[in-house]
Structure 1
């Protein structure tokens, strides 16, 4: 339980709402990257346009890696800059280090990587916060960060 001076931890529902909200700018960035990728490899004559939709082609894996890097850069740089992504602002959520300070770049990268694995595992790392005594998700524990809810102004 939070002490009166400690900020409350973020509930799972707020985390999921922020994640859903953050999907919009990330998808927009993915669309731009995909368009640039298609233009670069199609119009420069490197392959047939039909290969853009071929499943499991090497170019598809390259595009997926690019999209993963874009999502990671969006999250990590947003957390580093102000502790929040666009999706976290309406619900007043903020990422902080376990001691309340600014998290290191390494901790934020670990947070993103473990959070991605958590999502790929049907969101188990997020649901874990419901049974965790401190209401921490897998990526909170692994990275030594916390997601706090700021009070209303």
Structure 2
């Protein structure tokens, strides 16, 4: 697993690295890297590869929100069953069982704030196990997927005039 872990560390930083570059960074040969990647994918450790998008820089960006969801479970229904139903919706970008004041943190993507609000109120809130939802709209993203979004202006100091 050590070779696989080294390959994972490189892929997590940049999934577009080619096998030869990963081999150079890890000290493994290219065949070992290819085998490690194939094993990680076959064992469902790596579920996919995707771009980290700064939606604020796209003309018709997406609205992102985080919804806190509280549930009340019965003897026949567990967190996994509720999570499975929520995860099936295309609007759900990420879903986490969390500790603290609520049970699930759901990251939702929509075209408008109304889309997100409608999704939560019409699809999630009516589920029998859901007892409460609180939606937080993301106003600005500074870092996502381990990637820091920068505006290109390195000098954040305020100008001073005499």
**TM-score when normalising by structure 1:** 0.28
**TM-score when normalising by structure 2:** 0.27
- Does 1 or 2 have the higher relative contact order (CA < 8 Å, sep 6+)? 1
**Structure with a larger share of its residues in strand:** 2
Larger Rg: 2
